[in-house]
Chains A and B, each alone.
Chain A
Amino acid sequence: MTTLPEHLQKELEEHFKKFKPNEKQKQEITKRIETLYEDAKIAPGEAIGIITAESFGEPSTQMTISSFHFAGVAEMNVTVGLVRLIEVFDARKKPSTPQMKLPLKAKYSKTSEMVKEVSMKIKETKLGDITEEISINVAKGSIEIILDKKKMRDTDIKLSHILTRLKESFKTLTLKELKDSISLKGKDEIKLSELYKLKEKAKTIHIAGLKGITQVLPIKDDDGYVIHTAGSNIEDALAMEEVDKSKITSNDVFEIAKVLGIEAARKAIINESLKVIKDQGLDIDIRHIIFLADVMTRGGVIKGVTRTGITGEKESVLARASFETPMKHIINATLIGERDDLNSVVENVIINQPVPLGTGLPGLVMKSNKK
């Protein structure tokens, strides 16, 4: 008795509705589909890992390397193509071009002004963005911050807010409000080199918006406004009232894992790889992508396809050693008297034994007929 997978059952029912077969025909159809399904099932022993590797490896030779994709705005470039695919599989901690898509709730996106307001709220404003100049006063040994009133008005930031942020960041310094500037001074004399460092730090002080969002671009689509951002900060975006929380997307897989958990990260890996593949006009079956994402996330953390990731955590010494840095693995193996049980592929290739995959898997023994 075979039970069809859910999506096949659904498809079958839809067809029944559309073509309206009679009971007898229905039975026949189901039976045919069932045998087809049985026949198309994957065979035990199939070296599915290698097939997946091939399915990615072969088309990757056809991908373009040109890494940037124009998304309408100069600063909103996205890494695409082979480079991005490698980035996802490597499990790099930060994508080279982090991005988010934040769909707005209908309430907050009635007019383009409202949308603009929200996007200003999302974009990170640093102190350097709203000042005319931050300079060092050598004579007084202080830092002078001259604010840009116009930009402050544009971004709707109050002076008091800046002051509190400054106080939080420079706890040891004293603040002094002058006519149209703020002066920062230490209790004791500060060395010039120190002062310079403080000045640079002051520039990057976070004043408003979501940390790490360097660019925002509202784009209108069928379901309303979506704000595309350069930089990713899911945690803070989730806290925003204006954003439709259920539809936030980001291309930062590690951040997704941190905020939403490993299952979400798995899905993110699938989506990101799929995006690259579609974008390059290639066709790789979803099963391979799902499989790779499963391998990468099965331990509860994201492991890259690198010598420190999946391959590095193999149990077999020889399998690790034959990939990269063989000496390191062998030396470390000697320290604990590591045992290699020769369960996987390369080890057996190395010592000239059948590989436990495919036709090498079954342990079939025939007794010869002695007469």
Chain B
Amino acid sequence: MANFVYKKVDALVFGLFSPEIIKKMACAKIVTPELYDKEGFPVDGGLMDVRLGVIDPGIRCKTCGGSLKECMGHFGYMDLARPLIHIKYADVILTTLRATCRECGKVLTDTKIKIEVEEETPAPVVTAASEEEIVLPPLPTVEEPVKKETKSSKNIKKCLHCNAKQFTIKLEKPTTYLEDEKKLTPIDIHTRLLRITDEDLEKLGLDPKYARPDWMVLTILPVPPVTIRPSITLETGERSEDDLTHKLGDIVRINQRLFENINAGAPEIIVEDLWELLQYHVTTYFDNEISQVPPARHRSGQALKTLTERIKSKEGRFRHNLAGKRVNFAARTVISPDSKLELYEVGVPFSVAMELTIPERVTEWNIKHLKKFVENGPQKYPGSNYVLRPDGKKKKITEETHEQLLEELQPGYIVERHLMDGDIAVFNRQPSLHRMSIMAHKIKVLHGKSFRLNPSVCNPYAADFDGDEMNLHIPQTEEARAEAEILMQVQTQIITPKNGLNIIGCSTDSITGNYLLTKNMEFPKEDAIQILHTIGVYNQERFEKFKKNVTGKEIFSVLLPEDFNFVGQTKNKKPFIVKEGILIEGHLDKATIGEEKGELIRALYAQYGQDIGIDLLGKIFRLGLEALLRNGFTTTIADTDLPTEIAEKCKETIYNAERRVAQLIEQYQNKELESLPGLSIEDTVEVKILDTLNKARSRVGEIITEISDENNPTIIMAVSGAKGNLLNLAMMAACVGQQAMRGKRIENGYRHRTLSVFTKGELLPKAKGFIKMGYKDGLGPEEFFMNAITGRDSLMDTALRTPKSGYLYRRLSSALQDIKVAYDGTVRDANENIVQFIYGEDGLDVSKTEGGKINVTRIVKEIVGEK
């Protein structure tokens, strides 16, 4: 086995390069703006100098001899003809200049103030310089103390040390410094900053080891390696240079011109102009988005992307490349449902299974087994794509190589074989809002081109099948596979840590099916056994106990373990009792097997553990579907037909409400209405009308419930909790009701009415968005319009909410990401500062509880016996 050297980065230290270091680490001095000569070779001393690294394949680096992949590039440097201000440090230079004497470079303040500053901001950083004098607290944090120093020294007109007169220094953005209205050149600034002693710098809150202010005035400019600014060869053979190279080219050109002019003794004005131009180029080289500075542009007019823009924002280095990385061994395709799969499985198409691989090490025990994969090669399933030799060489299996590879295969080799049933994969759907958005599944290789998953796991992923795509990752090491299997598999994630309820459960059809099955279905013995066989239950003992006709309750009971006792409630608060594995009373519905609410699911899970729990859940799910399949189930528009008397009753209710509203309006107009406390008359009548109309709508809903026909599929779905509710039914069958915006009826526009068909100041229900028709009967034009208003409003709400909540989530996660439970049970952040002494005040993990609690009642009842 190879002897790995595991390197660990222990810490990073930030600081500035001194001119000496820049020179020392440089491999080339850049003197010419030309990039290539006539033959197309990089010019020596140009920006693409071969000593700066390799960007073309097949060429070796002139400095280190490495090839494209090995050489990471080398810095160059260029001497600047005149010193320049580093734009990012313009403010620091200003404060430093203000805080020190213009003659002697000492800090313009007395010791008393200094101590005050240091006491106020005890800083976390310990430097080598301050270690000797332990009495003093270490350096204060950055800018603050500098500012304070200047504040206290602002009024000091004379240096305390050399009595030199001081003037006010101003920074004219971006890079011009004025002392008493006279311009300070970078040369002056540089000499002044050089005078400041290391000791004084510490007083200013700067670390002289890492950030001497004179380094902030550039006298020499490092030229980054070509590897960070590679050029692209276009199809035409033309080379297109990186933005940075362009910018550096400008700098070199102007710099050389400046040199020439100075040496030729050109007039001061010309030198100054060039100097300023060079300052502009260097400024935009660092940051091209500074206010007051026009951004440097391409010929096409597009602003160049220089150093700061490379780092900044979502597309910048940090968030795009460093905090989020691209991976290999991943696949993405459309998902589709397959209820015959187990919940913890994922169907993977052959095309994916033959592309993604799992590395398997050859040993003397599995060599025969693995040879088969090599023999099959990449074209035949199950085969393999690559073989890794012990020396690290990777060999692709092809027609030519596979004979030879087969022969040389021996223990120590690694075979990258195709995916097979039972392999572990990590499955994910974006947006990954919680940990259940990435779960581990067992692979099941299937025909077709989409990923298949059990509809029950849609809820945690928030997936549906209207074209959603999902990602699949294959863990490549034993450790990763073990972690995925133990910590991430679907059965470990049934209970969400959000509130301790089951995020996975039955939904829609399977609830309807189970509801009907356990309520009133009956099957001949043969059918019952067939149903159970289809869902994967082969309990011969129980089958033998079946009578000629088997009820749905009995069929369901076969699934349950024989020692299972459970007392719960159905959705409509009727008892649901399981005794010794037999469903005695009640029926299944959303409250027992549904998502979030399924008490039965949680009880099974708590009592029998993950594996049996998920197995049972899968079976219950399929049982529901199978029951529906045998009986047939559909919902039609006729479901919303109301018997004439009921329809009459509804109409009457609405008519009465309208009359009542009319009365209210009349009272209001006659000023007979008494205002409610704290409300104006106008508001009072609004509140009363809204109240009346809402009551009428609820009454209509109630009337419809009264008739609720037990065999009406729409009602069955509503009652069982599979989908929809009775209010939805009322909206379809009888009356849509008041359209409300911000808790009020639709408000008038500028012309005192909602629509021009109404008279001005109209208060009648229909003029303010009351829809008295049901969806089936159809809405009137003005009703339709009102309905569209609220519809549009809710669309807007969603569109605005998504980015807001996304940002909240990002802030929360970056604020809390490092906080963990320590070994002593306390909650601590990354630097071991205690946040809580015990998590959640009782140390419980929400995802291991039942709704955030430990179910004492169940245990007591179990031991004492039911009372």
| B2 interface contact, C-beta 8 A | no
Question: Interface segment, A148-156, A185-193, A196-204, A355-363?
Answer: A355-363
Interface residues of A in 18-41 (CB under 8 A from B): 19-21, 25, 28-29, 32-33, 36-37, 39-41
Q: Is the CB of A33 within 8 A of B846?
A: no
Query: Which residues of A are found within 8 Å of B16, using beta-carbon distances?
Result: 334
From known contacts A70-B744, A322-B323, A359-B487, infer whether A287 and B840 are also in contact, taking CB-CB under 8 Å. yes
Query: Which residues of B are found within 8 Å of A347, using beta-carbon distances?
Result: 12
With both chains docked as a complex, state the minimum distance between the C-beta of B806 and any C-beta of chain A, in angstroms. 8
Query: Which residues of A are found within 8 Å of B139, using beta-carbon distances?
Result: 336
| A268 interface contact, C-beta 8 A | no
With both chains docked as a complex, state the minimum distance between the C-beta of B356 and any C-beta of chain A, in angstroms. 22
From known contacts A326-B312, A336-B141, infer whether A55 and B434 are also in contact, taking CB-CB under 8 Å. yes
Q: Is the CB of A340 within 8 A of B501?
A: no
* A292 to B13 CA separation, bound complex (whole angstroms): 31
* A50 to B434 CA separation, bound complex (whole angstroms): 9
- Number of residue pairs across A and B with beta carbons under 8 Å? 344
Query: Which residues of B are found within 8 Å of A47, using beta-carbon distances?
Result: 817, 819-820
Q: Mark A328-343, 1 if CB is under 8 A from B, else 0.
A: 0011111111111111
Task: Select which of A12, A41, A318 is within 8 A of B845 by beta carbon.
Answer: A41
Query: Which residues of B are found within 8 Å of A46, using beta-carbon distances?
Result: 820-821, 845
* A91 to B132 CA separation, bound complex (whole angstroms): 41
Interface residues of B in 781-831 (CB under 8 A from A): 797, 800-802, 804-806, 808-809, 811-823, 825, 827, 829-831
With both chains docked as a complex, state the minimum distance between the C-beta of B725 and any C-beta of chain A, in angstroms. 14
Q: Is the CB of B805 within 8 A of A63?
A: yes
Query: Which residues of B are found within 8 Å of A217, using beta-carbon distances?
Result: 677-678
Query: Which residues of A are found within 8 Å of B841, using beta-carbon distances?
Result: 5, 287, 290
From known contacts A61-B805, A346-B817, infer whether A305 and B812 are also in contact, taking CB-CB under 8 Å. yes
| A345 interface contact, C-beta 8 A | yes
Query: Which residues of B are found within 8 Å of A55, using beta-carbon distances?
Result: 434, 497-499
With both chains docked as a complex, state the minimum distance between the C-beta of B88 and any C-beta of chain A, in angstroms. 5
From known contacts A36-B859, A49-B816, infer whether A339 and B852 are also in contact, taking CB-CB under 8 Å. no
Query: Which residues of A are found within 8 Å of B312, using beta-carbon distances?
Result: 326-327
Q: Mark A77-104, 1 if CB is under 8 A from B, else 0.
A: 0000010011001000000000000000
Interface residues of A in 315-329 (CB under 8 A from B): 315-319, 321-323, 326-327
From known contacts A53-B809, A54-B435, A319-B818, infer whether A11 and B864 are also in contact, taking CB-CB under 8 Å. no
Q: Is the CB of B211 within 8 A of A336?
A: yes
From known contacts A8-B854, A21-B864, A50-B817, infer whether A44 and B825 are also in contact, taking CB-CB under 8 Å. yes
Q: Which of B800, B818, B820 has the most CB of A within 10 A?
A: B818
Task: Select which of A40, A60, A335, A342 is within 8 A of B849 by beta carbon.
Answer: A40
Task: Select which of A37, A287, A334 is within 8 A of B852 by beta carbon.
Answer: A287
Task: Select which of B12, B498, B742 is within 8 A of A54 by beta carbon.
Answer: B498
| A1 interface contact, C-beta 8 A | no
**How many chain B residues touch A (Cβ–Cβ < 8 Å)?**
105
* A66 to B796 CA separation, bound complex (whole angstroms): 10
Query: Which residues of A are found within 8 Å of B13, using beta-carbon distances?
Result: 337-340
| B856 interface contact, C-beta 8 A | yes
| B41 interface contact, C-beta 8 A | no
Q: Is the CB of A52 within 8 A of B820?
A: no
Task: Select which of A5, A311, A314 is within 8 A of B843 by beta carbon.
Answer: A5
Q: Closest residue to A112 on the B side, CB-wise?
A: B677
* A345 to B815 CA separation, bound complex (whole angstroms): 11
* A114 to B845 CA separation, bound complex (whole angstroms): 51
Q: Is the CB of A335 within 8 A of B205?
A: yes
| B318 interface contact, C-beta 8 A | yes
Q: Is the CB of A345 within 8 A of B818?
A: yes
Q: Is the CB of A291 within 8 A of B497?
A: no
* A286 to B38 CA separation, bound complex (whole angstroms): 73
Q: Mark B40-67, 1 if CB is under 8 A from A, else 0.
A: 0000000000000000000000000000
With both chains docked as a complex, state the minimum distance between the C-beta of B86 and any C-beta of chain A, in angstroms. 10
Q: Is the CB of A335 within 8 A of B206?
A: yes
Query: Which residues of A are found within 8 Å of B857, using beta-carbon distances?
Result: 15
| A159 interface contact, C-beta 8 A | no
Q: Closest residue to B826 on the A side, CB-wise?
A: A44
Q: Is the CB of B854 within 8 A of A40?
A: yes
| A264 interface contact, C-beta 8 A | no
* A345 to B683 CA separation, bound complex (whole angstroms): 54
Q: Is the CB of A85 within 8 A of B808?
A: yes
Instruction: Please classify how large the interface on chain A is, using the bins under 10, 10 to 19, 20 to 34, 35 or more.
Output: 35 or more
Q: Is the CB of B827 within 8 A of A349?
A: no
* A326 to B322 CA separation, bound complex (whole angstroms): 12
* A15 to B839 CA separation, bound complex (whole angstroms): 25
With both chains docked as a complex, state the minimum distance between the C-beta of A62 and any C-beta of chain B, in angstroms. 9
Q: Is the CB of A337 within 8 A of B679?
A: no
With both chains docked as a complex, state the minimum distance between the C-beta of B829 and any C-beta of chain A, in angstroms. 8
* A331 to B87 CA separation, bound complex (whole angstroms): 11
Query: Which residues of A are found within 8 Å of B287, using beta-carbon distances?
Result: 327
Q: Closest residue to A361 on the B side, CB-wise?
A: B820
From known contacts A61-B802, A283-B499, infer whether A337 and B822 are also in contact, taking CB-CB under 8 Å. no
Q: Closest residue to B480 on the A side, CB-wise?
A: A359
* A47 to B434 CA separation, bound complex (whole angstroms): 13
Query: Which residues of B are found within 8 Å of A341, using beta-carbon distances?
Result: 10-11
Interface residues of B in 670-692 (CB under 8 A from A): 677-680, 683
| A58 interface contact, C-beta 8 A | yes
* A350 to B811 CA separation, bound complex (whole angstroms): 18
* A144 to B88 CA separation, bound complex (whole angstroms): 56
* A179 to B818 CA separation, bound complex (whole angstroms): 71
Q: Mark A1-19, 1 if CB is under 8 A from B, else 0.
A: 0000101100110011001
Task: Select which of A11, A286, A353 is within 8 A of B8 by beta carbon.
Answer: A353
* A41 to B823 CA separation, bound complex (whole angstroms): 12
Query: Which residues of B are found within 8 Å of A32, using beta-carbon distances?
Result: 859, 863
| A64 interface contact, C-beta 8 A | yes
* A73 to B210 CA separation, bound complex (whole angstroms): 62
Q: Is the CB of B207 within 8 A of A49?
A: no
Q: Is the CB of A65 within 8 A of B801?
A: yes
Query: Which residues of A are found within 8 Å of B849, using beta-carbon distances?
Result: 40
Query: Which residues of B are found within 8 Å of A333, using beta-carbon distances?
Result: 14
| B5 interface contact, C-beta 8 A | no
| B182 interface contact, C-beta 8 A | no
Q: Is the CB of B14 within 8 A of A317?
A: yes
Q: Is the CB of A66 within 8 A of B318?
A: no
Q: Is the CB of B323 within 8 A of A350?
A: yes
With both chains docked as a complex, state the minimum distance between the C-beta of B812 and any C-beta of chain A, in angstroms. 4
Query: Which residues of B are found within 8 Å of A306, using beta-carbon distances?
Result: 811
Query: Which residues of B are found within 8 Å of A319, using beta-carbon distances?
Result: 814, 818, 830
Interface residues of B in 119-152 (CB under 8 A from A): 123-125, 127, 139, 141-143
Query: Which residues of A are found within 8 Å of B311, using beta-carbon distances?
Result: 326-327, 330
| A57 interface contact, C-beta 8 A | yes
* A25 to B812 CA separation, bound complex (whole angstroms): 46
Task: Select which of A59, A86, A291, A326 is within 8 A of B840 by beta carbon.
Answer: A291
| B508 interface contact, C-beta 8 A | no
A–B pairs, 8, beta carbons within 8 Å: A52-B816, A53-B813, A57-B434, A60-B805, A82-B801, A319-B818, A319-B830, A332-B143
- In the complex, the 8 A-B pairs of residues with the closest C-beta atoms, listed nearest first: A337-B210, A57-B809, A287-B840, A49-B819, A49-B816, A344-B830, A344-B818, A333-B14
| 20 more CB-based (< 8 A) A-B contacts, given A288-B498, A291-B835, A342-B10 | A28-B863, A33-B854, A48-B827, A49-B820, A51-B497, A52-B816, A57-B813, A73-B679, A286-B840, A287-B839, A305-B811, A315-B831, A319-B830, A334-B210, A335-B92, A338-B13, A343-B818, A345-B818, A346-B323, A352-B325
